[in-house]
Structure 1
Amino acid sequence: MMSSSFRGLALAASLFAAALPFAASAAPKTICTITVNSPDEKETFRRNLPPGDYNFVELVERGRKDWLASACEQKVQCDSLVISGHFDDGDEFYTDRFDVSEYLTVLEMERTSCSDSCPGVFSQLKEVYLFGCNTLKTEPRQVAGADITRALLRSGQSPSDAARLSALLGDTHARSNRDRMRQIFKDVPVIYGFSSKAPLGKYAGPLLEKYFQTAPPGEIGSGQVSQKLLSLFGPSSMTVTAGLRDGEPQARARADACRFVDDRISPAHKLAFFHDMLKRDMPEVRMHLGDMERFMSSLGVAGTLRPDAAEALARVAADHASRERYLAFARDADEPAMRTRMMALATRLGWLTPVQEQAEFVRMIGERMARDALGMEEVNLACTRGGEDDAAVRPLLGGALKYAKVAPAAALACLGSAQARERVVRAVTSHDPEEIDIARAYLRQRPLVDAAEVRAVATAIGRMPASLSQVRAIETLAQQRVSDPESLREIARMFPLAKSLPAQRAIAALLIRANHRVLGSGELTQTLKRHRLKSPDGEDVIDALIRVLQAG
């Protein structure tokens, strides 16, 4: 019979043996941080997590551009990742601090994730904390429009099937911020972020302090959703999701997108895949346009490609069947920007010459002008294309000026028409606010450079009746940073005649930006003091102008 003391020793030994696996699994968890802006979140985690149970590794190395690659090379193993930075536009984490220059782009995160070049930082994660605005915003960044549905109908789909497939394409390729984070952090069980505005670090820190006061031990890095954390940050739009899993509809789209950025794939093989994709149904090709554009931009100048890549690109250029399908789809695109982008890619692929691409753009302008569908978007697109006098524009000029429409005139003026420009400049003093807005958009990219033009606008503004339109006209001229003395005197003469505070403020804003010294500071200062209308809001731009004049 076993003695009681021996049984006690045996029990202790068995308990010790049973505890060995637990001890082995209780190694400290590693919290990796990427502090682009505020350190408040990181420091709150550090203060409240036991040092023996958690290690902290800051991945950002100040002053080093390739800090993420450096962290990957060091094979840091992360259980949790905390990213702190502004994220308003959804393309990068950035800072508003003057002493910090580091940032983290979504494209770099996608490249790293797709290349599997940083398995320690990305692949072993149990949790991700994205402290930035809109990091899990669900609004789609691209949609499947009516042109997608039309293409599906032309391919033989029934109306119901075309609508269903279009919706499926839209959902699969929506590329919302939430979708992109799920794809970057594939298979990660828990991803926290914000669907809209996130609290600044100085407010997020105290909320995290409250969380840690009652958080269960070991919850951080466990891969389990914390309802306590969500309840505290819920009013600040915090939400939670999980990384993309194989088998989900977006998994194939991710795999395709990854082929363009995976560092392990050569440019020649990427171009071969690019070519294969162009042979797919055009609606799907259209939804991958952003991936294709970024890839072609990354290749650099065609003449610098390696022979195997140059041969692969030449095979794409020689594919006339894909070219015709692609151009037909591009010409049917509803959105002017989409049509323009598709034509630019066609040029990059060798399917269009630059002259042909410009002709396609002018063709689009003409088509939309005929439908009376030209607006600010087309004006901005036209102004990015240069200002040479294009012979293809001249046939459109009569229609643009016939109905006195400003948007068509502005588009043609951007493409080089001097006659159309005269019409747009006159619109600065229009009584229609929409016309003034279009003229302002045009002049922002094609400014007034001739003194006679500036004087004509200044004189016309002086003849306008006191109104909101006059104020908007002054604000438009102010953007030109006027230096012509005669024009400035004309505007300054309007100040004592102005009957509203917004008008006087607009005049002061123009003068403070301009070379006001040509007016003589003493006389102008007295005019401002004597005739200024009282501001209910305290000091304003008029006071600032007076101080500048007195200091000068």
Structure 2
Amino acid sequence: MSLFALPVMARTVCTITLNSEHEKKIFTSRYKKEGVEFKELTDFKSSNDDKNWFDKACASGVKCDSLIISGHFGGTFFGEDTNLTLPLQTMERKACSKTCEGILSQPKEVYLFGCNTLADKAKDRRTPEQYREVLLNDGISEAYVDRIVAARYSPVGESFKSTMQKVFSGVPQIYGFDSIGPSGKTVSSFLKKYLDQIPNYSKRLDQLEAEKVMNQITKASDISSSYSDPWNSAMKGTAYAACSGAVDEQRKECILFDDKASKYEKMLTVESLLNSPDRKDHFLVVEEYLNGIDMKNLSADEKDVLSRIKSNTMAANELKAITPKLNSVLETKFPLVDLAGKVGWMSPDEVSKELEDTMKVAMKGKGLTNTKVQAFCSIRNPPDMSKFNAPAAWYQDSNFLTVVGCWQGTAGKTSLPTTVVSQLSRQLDSSDPDTAVEALGMVKSSVATDPALQKKVANLLYSNQISISASAMSVLGNVRNPSKEVVDVVAQGLNSSNPDVQKRSAFTIRNMGIQDPDLKRRALQIAPQMQPW
């Protein structure tokens, strides 16, 4: 038997369908009659919120001859009707650890249906704003559009094309798009035209496998253009792209996530990556690794490495020159700011100033969108709010209050600075119910020791907005031994002609532990279900 006369075997096409099913259905209708088996890898999920579905797929031992991924893409594959995602970062870690070779290395070809899946660092012909508009017109929801635009225009990190080549190392052919990809419905006609040129898919996979074997022998990566030409021809009119997987070789950054490597080896790797001319490509992976270790618990040798990293002025200056330009890609900016603070390239005051400046930009125009809130909440080393220079107007925005709450939680702080509590107290009277509710939730830890604040919250028991009155009840449940003035405000609801207000007052008296016999008796008459008290 010659080297290329491989035995005939049933072929398995794996699919990961996170958005459109059009692509999978077209492949299935064409080739299932050949005996090609199609396996949907998202079926390994235990629920629609299963974050470990891809781990399970990898551990299953499935071996894919071809892989088809369909979904929106912005550094993560995702869909609009599912909570399942497939982050490129997850795929990178699996490729590094070689714990998913049946899905990532076994295929002879990979199809990546999504925007920018094979985008390089070449400047897109559109501005971010124009690109965003095209995506919105294509029917992609605003929440996802911001993520896609941010990923495409980020100046740091490796290109998606380069990363995909490393993830799918040794795979002869990878197909995708280097800008906006066609939607599932739109791509159908292009895809049918493409598959018309491949009458026998099993035979094609046999040929690609022979090419793969030869590449492994010669350590080459590129193969004949005869495989990509049909794709390029059929997809003309779209942002089509094609390439081969990289030659399988040890990637330096993989050491950072190798359980067998020591922390000292990993710190040396960090130093090496930050000393390299392409350090900008490695900022994000370095930040990810350093976030997972306790910088206060380093050995003497590891501290020496950290000291040298801190003194790397070339890397520090390059990072600090980039960050102010990233206000349109906050998902990239904030990890860089975290990295700068972690290794000492920025002082805590400098980090706080950078975040203040970023917030000023974010609050303009449409203000803090949900996407921006998520980005601000992702900051791993949030600023000290007692030193954060936030204008009073910011506290009128419920989304800003959400961010402040996130930062307090991340920092592990249960109490707020008095300046912040003062600003929040003003927002309890906000005409925006969302702002008032957010402020109520945030003063919960401060109300127990502040009689004036207690009285203000007590008055909100009688708000016409159910969300506000319910939040006030919850906050007052933290108060013990309230002043007579506060008790009088809470108890006045017992005299209301509105049964709901009466019950609200009665339950609050119980929740605050008020022991006045007369009030207890009246409260129990209104809400006997509170027995035993």
CA contact (8 A) 2:156 2:280 kept: no
**Separation in 1, partners of 2:316, 2:466:** 53
CA contact (8 A) 2:11 2:36 kept: yes
Shift of 1:285: 3.6
- Tell me which residue corresponds to 2:38: 56
Q: Are 1:344 and 2:338 an aligned pair?
A: yes
> Which ranges in structure 2 are unaligned for 5 or more consecutive residues?
125-152, 209-225, 327-331, 365-371, 406-422, 439-463, 469-533
Q: 2:392 aligns with which of 421, 426, 449?
A: 421
List aligned pairs for 1:229-248, cutoff 5 A: 229-245=231-247
Q: Are 1:66 and 2:52 an aligned pair?
A: yes
Q: Are 1:388 and 2:403 an aligned pair?
A: no
- The one-letter code sitting in structure 2 at the alignment partner of 1:107 is Q
- The one-letter code sitting in structure 1 at the alignment partner of 2:265 is H
1:201–1:479 Cα change, 3 Å: same
- The one-letter code sitting in structure 2 at the alignment partner of 1:259 is I
Residue aligned with 1:291, SS: helix
**Separation in 1, partners of 2:313, 2:280:** 14
**Separation in 2, partners of 1:22, 1:226:** 21
**Separation in 2, partners of 1:274, 1:133:** 31
List aligned pairs for 1:34-183, cutoff 5 A: 34-60=16-42, 61-63=44-46, 65-87=51-73, 90-97=74-81, 100-139=82-121, 175-183=158-166
CA contact (8 A) 2:173 2:242 kept: yes
1:378–1:344 Cα change, 3 Å: farther
Q: What's the CA shift string for 1:403-425, capped at 9, x where partnerless?
A: xxxxxxxxxxxx236xx536x79
What's the Cα RMSD here?
A: 4.8
Shift of 1:94: 1.0
- The one-letter code sitting in structure 1 at the alignment partner of 2:305 is V
Q: What's the CA shift string for 1:211-261, capped at 9, x where partnerless?
A: 444533236434352544433333333322222347xxxx8xx82333333
- The one-letter code sitting in structure 1 at the alignment partner of 2:79 is T
Residue aligned with 2:72, SS: coil
Q: Are 1:191 and 2:174 an aligned pair?
A: yes
List aligned pairs for 1:104-503, cutoff 5 A: 104-139=86-121, 175-205=158-188, 207-218=190-201, 220-221=204-205, 222-223=207-208, 225-245=227-247, 255-262=251-258, 265-278=261-274, 280=275, 284-299=278-293, 301-302=294-295, 310=299, 313-319=302-308, 322=311, 327=316, 335=324, 344-349=338-343, 351=344, 357-361=347-351, 376=361, 385-386=382-383, 388-390=385-387, 415-416=388-389, 420-421=391-392, 449=424
**Separation in 2, partners of 1:362, 1:23:** 64
Shift of 1:107: 0.3
Structure ranking higher on relative contact order (CA contacts 8 Å, 6+ apart): 2
**Separation in 2, partners of 1:42, 1:94:** 16
**Separation in 1, partners of 2:165, 2:309:** 37
1:382–1:133 Cα change, 3 Å: closer
Between the two proteins, the alignment pairs up a number of residues equal to: 359
Residue aligned with 1:234, SS: coil
State TM-score, norm by structure 1.
Answer: 0.52
**Separation in 2, partners of 1:182, 1:110:** 10
CA contact (8 A) 1:343 1:360 kept: no
1:361–1:189 Cα change, 3 Å: same
1:103–1:440 Cα change, 3 Å: closer
Q: How many percent of aligned residue pairs carry the same amino acid? A: 25
Residue aligned with 1:235, SS: coil
Shift of 1:207: 4.5
Shift of 1:312: 5.3
**Separation in 2, partners of 1:172, 1:192:** 23
1:58–1:382 Cα change, 3 Å: closer
- The one-letter code sitting in structure 2 at the alignment partner of 1:72 is C
1:330–1:56 Cα change, 3 Å: closer
CA contact (8 A) 1:32 1:82 kept: yes
Q: What's the CA shift string for 1:43-83, capped at 9, x where partnerless?
A: 32222115555233332212254333333334333221111
1:182–1:325 Cα change, 3 Å: closer
**Separation in 1, partners of 2:300, 2:376:** 34
Q: What's the CA shift string for 1:13-60, capped at 9, x where partnerless?
A: xxxxx8x98875322332122222333322322221155552333322
Q: What's the CA shift string for 1:292-340, capped at 9, x where partnerless?
A: 10111233x457x7xxx75554333444873666556656667366997
State TM-score, norm by structure 2.
Answer: 0.53
CA contact (8 A) 1:136 1:194 kept: yes
CA contact (8 A) 2:271 2:309 kept: no
CA contact (8 A) 1:28 1:52 kept: no
**Separation in 2, partners of 1:452, 1:66:** 41
**Separation in 2, partners of 1:360, 1:181:** 35
Shift of 1:363: 6.8
**Separation in 1, partners of 2:123, 2:436:** 36
1:450–1:266 Cα change, 3 Å: same
1:341–1:446 Cα change, 3 Å: closer
CA contact (8 A) 2:341 2:348 kept: no
CA contact (8 A) 1:344 1:357 kept: no
Residue aligned with 1:57, SS: strand
Residue aligned with 2:348, SS: helix
CA contact (8 A) 1:141 1:174 kept: no
**Separation in 2, partners of 1:46, 1:302:** 51
Residue aligned with 1:293, SS: helix
Which protein has the larger Cα radius of gyration, Structure 1 or Structure 2? 1
**Separation in 2, partners of 1:50, 1:86:** 26
